């Protein structure tokens, strides 16, 4: 079992966040995998989840939007939303709100 850190990034900042999250998880002794949203193929063998997206035109990027819309009940799965943005920053909140709707257990009160 491992922590899955999914990201979609326009300029590399959200990817850098994903890598930093995974580095922290690994330094705490857990297995972690950074997953480009384009390569996501399900939650098999995932014991915790972080999903991130850059905010573009006040929205989550399309691949992450598809992933969060297609996920089903995540009851009790530790999860977090994160993302990068320049001005408005809606993506991390939208992701976290969707994780809450799916009954995931948010591990941080505010998205990163």
58, 93 contact by CB (below 8 A)? no
51, 35 contact by CB (below 8 A)? no
Mean local confidence (pLDDT), 70-92:
93
d(CA 96, CA 94): 6
Mean local confidence (pLDDT), 24-44:
97
Whole-model pTM: value is 0.94
Helix 90-101 vs helix 62-70: crossing angle, to nearest 10: 10
Q: Please tell me the predicted confidence (pLDDT) of residue 111.
A: 63
Q: Please tell me the predicted confidence (pLDDT) of residue 112.
A: 60
Average pLDDT score, the chain: 94
76, 29 contact by CB (below 8 A)? no
Range list of H helices, the chain: 13-27, 62-70, 90-101
Per-residue pLDDT at 22 exceeds 90: yes
Q: Please tell me the predicted confidence (pLDDT) of residue 58.
A: 86
Spell out the domains of the chain, with CATH numbers in brackets.
2-106 (3.40.50.360)
Per-residue pLDDT at 57 exceeds 90: no
């Amino acid at each position: 079992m491992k922590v899955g850190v999914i990201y979609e990034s326009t300029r590399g900042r959200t990817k850098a966040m994903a890598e930093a999250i995974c580095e922290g998880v690994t330094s705490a002794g857990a297995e972690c995998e950074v997953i480009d949203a384009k390569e996501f193929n399900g939650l098999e063998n995932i014991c915790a989840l972080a999903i991130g997206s850059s905010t573009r035109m006040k929205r989550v990027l399309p691949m992450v939007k598809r992933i969060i819309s297609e996920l089903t009940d995540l009851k009790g799965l530790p999860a977090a939303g994160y993302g990068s943005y320049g001005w408005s920053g809606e993506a991390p909140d939208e992701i976290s709100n969707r994780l809450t709707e799916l009954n995931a257990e948010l591990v941080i009160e505010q998205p990163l």
